């Protein structure tokens, strides 16, 4: 069944792990009032809850591998059909492969919409390794910190709930470098895919956070004005 949609904005963020997609996505959805759809967050929630999907995903994510397309597409479809996505959404971490992009196109066509804009954050590999390897997460409330960029007020303790912070398995340097290889081999072709459709816009992610935000907002505002 095709929905009636009023004002829609279906956005995609691309970029290597640690490019700042999650941070910028949270800023963007605050301004434009559309939900952030983070496949990474959804999968980690499944893992934390011990679901069958979570157990399958964990075996891939812990090695820095991409979760198989059929699993992740099912998760995304369930999420995009919820009511808060009626006027748009921002996909953070999906699609990551050409088959996922093609499956997304088919899903959106069934829903009566299409991708509006794809924003790729460009960051060098050394920056990616530093950003990820110094990241720490709270296993209780999922808050994230960076030991040099945004450290907790108390050493290794979450500001929100006081739980001891941990380094996620996929934030180890060896896993990060493997994730970068996976990104180059499987996700980089998406750049060409969306460029050919004139949907791709690029932003230098290796600059102060506020400047990255302003550059992204300028692209989105330009799209909305057109």
Of 27, 44, 79, 96, catalytic: 96
Which residues, other chains included, contact 45 with Cβ-Cβ below 8 Å and sequence gap of 6+? Answer: 54
Cα–Cα distance, 208 to 92 (Å, whole number): 20
Determine which one of 5, 56, 86, 168 is catalytic. 168
Task: Tell me, yes or no, if 131 is annotated catalytic.
Answer: no
Phi and psi for 11 in degrees, rounded to 5?
A: -110, 150
| Residue 177 annotated to the active site | no
**Among this protein's residues, is 197 annotated catalytic?**
no
Active site residue 96: yes
The residue from 44, 79, 131, 135 that is catalytic is 135
* Active-site residue, selected from the candidate residues 79, 131, 179, 201: 179
Kindly name the residue from 21, 79, 131, 136 that is annotated as catalytic.
21
**21 a catalytic residue:** yes
HSE, side-chain direction, 13 A CA sphere, residue 138: 17
Helix (H, G, I), strand (E, B), or coil: what is residue 117? strand
Residue 187 DSSP label:
I
Catalytic residues: 21, 96, 135, 168, 179
């Amino acid at each position: 069944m095709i929905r009636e949609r009023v004002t829609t904005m279906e956005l995609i963020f691309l970029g290597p792990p640690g490019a700042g997609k999650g941070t910028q996505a949270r800023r963007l959805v605050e301004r434009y009032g559309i939900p952030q759809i983070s496949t990474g967050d959804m999968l980690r929630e499944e893992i934390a809850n011990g679901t069958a999907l979570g157990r399958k995903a964990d075996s891939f994510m812990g090695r820095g591998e991409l979760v198989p397309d059929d699993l992740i597409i099912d998760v995304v479809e369930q999420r995009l059909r919820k009511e808060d996505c009626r006027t748009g959404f921002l996909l953070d971490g999906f699609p990551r492969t050409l088959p996922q992009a093609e499956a997304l196109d088919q899903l959106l066509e069934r829903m009566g919409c299409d991708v509006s804009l794809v924003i790729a954050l460009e960051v060098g590999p050394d920056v990616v390794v530093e950003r990820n390897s110094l990241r720490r997460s709270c296993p209780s409330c999922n808050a994230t910190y960076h030991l040099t960029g945004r450290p907790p007020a108390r050493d290794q303790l979450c500001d929100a709930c006081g739980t001891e912070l941990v380094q996620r398995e996929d934030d180890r340097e060896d896993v990060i470098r493997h994730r970068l290889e996976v990104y180059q081999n499987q996700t980089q072709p998406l750049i060409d895919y969306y460029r050919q459709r004139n949907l791709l816009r690029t932003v230098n992610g290796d600059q102060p956070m506020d400047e990255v935000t302003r550059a992204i907002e300028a692209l989105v505002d330009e799209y909305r004005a057109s």
